[in-house]
């Protein structure tokens, strides 16, 4: 039976450590602060951001929720970001995506001070990460490393295959694994004979955004599978494809009309020695890592990192 890597338990551990660090910083009169910018009314974003703000309160961080209207312009958003860059009580700036069409997201994200870029989306942070310099790494890939590290799953010398090359997950996950001395392969939609490569993976990271894309024949028996995907299944046909005979999921599907499946087919997990479930895996770590990044940003901005020569965490 494979081991289930419990995202909730690890998120709780990280949050506890962040809360302790916040207490410690309070002794020097520092209270890390996060500005969460939520534009318009995207229901999923509202849920995420509410949860981010609530977690700040739980851990003792200051937070400021800013809610520009759906009609906001790029210029107005740039003015807001500029004001947040200058505020001393704000250590982290989170601009929840997606943004309305009229807002130029690239220009806006590039305007966030790299020192306050707790999402790790700024090209300066991507470059620092690549160069192995202290950086704010994107939260989900940082969570992937924490899951492996805190479950004592070796990374050094292992074959890690990352399926997906997004700037937010695939590329930074590959960089972080490389810094931990994995032999890293990045695969994507144009990769030839994908299965031949994924079958080499001691650690397989699935971040393609396609439901159940990784099937059993693509998995090396005994490997570790990290499933970053979050896909909603709404048809009976799709449900049966992934969960036929699973009574618990069937009950959830009938009750809500949908269920969540990752990028890995549930049957593929059975071949692994350990895997992150969906839901209940990596997704739960994203907010914990955002909190951790905010405290890290607060320390870095004040020159309080114990070891300023350290490589990316
Ligand atoms: N939208 C969905 N996930 C994220 C995230 O991690 N950060 C931001 N800023 N927006 C998101």
Find, among 151, 83, 90, 130, the residue nearest to 111 by Cα.
Answer: 83
119 is catalytic: yes
Tell me: pLDDT of 234 over 70: yes
Find, among 232, 225, 211, 209, the residue nearest to 272 by Cα.
Answer: 225
Q: Say if 312 falls within a structural domain.
A: no
52 is catalytic: yes
- In tens, the pLDDT along 105-161 reads 999 999 999 999 999 999 999 999 999 998 999 999 999 999 999 999 999 999 999
Q: Say if 15 falls within a structural domain.
A: no
Give the integer Cα–Cα distance in Å for 82 and 290.
21
Choosing from 52, 116, 171, 220, the catalytic residue is 52
Tell me: pLDDT of 69 over 50: yes
- Which ligand 1 atom sits nearest the alpha carbon of residue 140? 6
Residue range 234-243: mean pLDDT, rounded: 97
Tell me: pLDDT of 313 over 90: no
Looking at the structure, do residues 99 and 44 belong to the same domain, yes or no?
Answer: yes
Structure tokens at 58: 């739980």
Q: Return the number of other C-beta atoms located less than 10 Å from residue 129's C-beta.
A: 24
Q: Whose CA is nearest to atom 2 of ligand 1?
A: 97
**If you measure from the C-alpha of residue 98 to the centroid of ligand 1, how many angstroms do you get, rounded to a whole number?**
8
pTM recorded for the entire structure: 0.95
Q: Say if 133 falls within a structural domain.
A: no
- In tens, the pLDDT along 252-265 reads 999 999 999 999 99
Full domain range(s) for residue 30: 3-8+24-119+287-301
Give the integer Cα–Cα distance in Å for 136 and 122.
9
Tell me: pLDDT of 309 over 50: no
Choosing from 15, 91, 117, 119, the catalytic residue is 119
- 305 pLDDT band, cuts 50/70/90, is confident
Q: Say if 129 falls within a structural domain.
A: no
Among 44, 47, 48, the mutation site with the greatest number of ligand 1 atoms within 8 A of its Cβ is 48
Q: Say if 61 falls within a structural domain.
A: yes
Q: Say if 134 falls within a structural domain.
A: no
Instruction: Write down the mean pLDDT value for the chain.
Output: 96
Tell me: pLDDT of 34 over 70: yes
Helix count and strand count (H, E) for the chain: 12, 11
Which CATH number fits the domain that encloses residue 187? 3.40.50.720
- Percentages helix, strand, coil for the chain, rounded to the nearest 5? 45, 15, 40
Beta carbon of 97 within 6 Å of any ligand 1 atom: yes
Give the integer Cα–Cα distance in Å for 108 and 209.
25
Looking at the structure, do residues 147 and 261 belong to the same domain, yes or no?
Answer: yes
Looking at the structure, do residues 209 and 235 belong to the same domain, yes or no?
Answer: yes
Q: Say if 234 falls within a structural domain.
A: yes
Give the integer Cα–Cα distance in Å for 172 and 165.
9
- In tens, the pLDDT along 7-26 reads 999 999 999 999 999 999 99
Total of domains in the chain: 2
Residue 304: predicted pLDDT: 87
- 308 pLDDT band, cuts 50/70/90, is very low
Give the integer Cα–Cα distance in Å for 231 and 262.
6
Which CATH number fits the domain that encloses residue 95? 3.40.50.10860
Looking at the structure, do residues 198 and 243 belong to the same domain, yes or no?
Answer: yes
Residue 282: predicted pLDDT: 97
Residue 306: predicted pLDDT: 60
Q: Quote the percentage of the chain above a pLDDT of 70.
A: 97
Beta 159-163 vs 183-187: how paired, if at all? Answer: parallel
Residue 311: predicted pLDDT: 46
Residue 177: predicted pLDDT: 98
Residue 121: predicted pLDDT: 97
Q: Whose CA is nearest to atom 8 of ligand 1?
A: 96
């Amino acid at each position: 039976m494979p081991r289930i890597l419990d995202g909730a338990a690890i998120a709780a551990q990280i949050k506890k450590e962040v809360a302790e660090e916040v207490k410690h910083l309070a002794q020097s009169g520092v209270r890390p602060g996060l500005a969460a910018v939520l534009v318009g009314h995207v229901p999923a974003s509202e849920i995420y951001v509410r949860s981010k703000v609530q977690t700040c309160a739980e851990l003792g961080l200051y937070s400021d929720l800013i809610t520009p209207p759906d009609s906001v312009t790029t210029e107005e958003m740039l003015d807001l970001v500029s004001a947040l860059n200058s505020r001393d009580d704000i250590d982290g700036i989170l601009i929840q995506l997606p943004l309305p069409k009229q807002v130029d997201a690239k220009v806006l994200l590039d305007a966030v001070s790299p020192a306050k870029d707790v999402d790790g989306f700024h090209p300066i942070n991507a470059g620092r990460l690549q160069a192995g310099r202290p950086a704010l790494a994107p939260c989900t890939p940082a969570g992937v490393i924490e899951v492996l590290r805190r479950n004592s799953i070796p990374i050094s010398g292992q074959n890690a295959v990352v399926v997906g090359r997004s700037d937010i997950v695939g590329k930074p996950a590959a960089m972080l694994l490389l810094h931990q001395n994995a032999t890293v392969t990045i695969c994507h939609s144009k990769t030839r004979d994908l299965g031949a490569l994924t079958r080499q993976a001691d650690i397989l990271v699935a971040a393609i955004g396609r439901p159940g894309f990784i099937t059993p024949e693509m998995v090396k028996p005994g490997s570790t599978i990290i499933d970053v995907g979050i896909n909603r299944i709404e048809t009976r046909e799709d449900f049966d494809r992934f969960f036929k005979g699973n009574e618990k999921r069937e009950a959830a599907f009938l009750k809500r009309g949908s269920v969540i499946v990752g990028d890995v087919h549930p049957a593929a997990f059975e071949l692994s020695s350990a895997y992150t479930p969906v839901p209940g895996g990596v997704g739960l770590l994203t907010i914990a890592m955002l909190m951790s990044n905010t405290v890290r940003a607060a320390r870095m901005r004040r020159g309080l990192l114990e070891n300023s020569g350290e490589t990316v965490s």
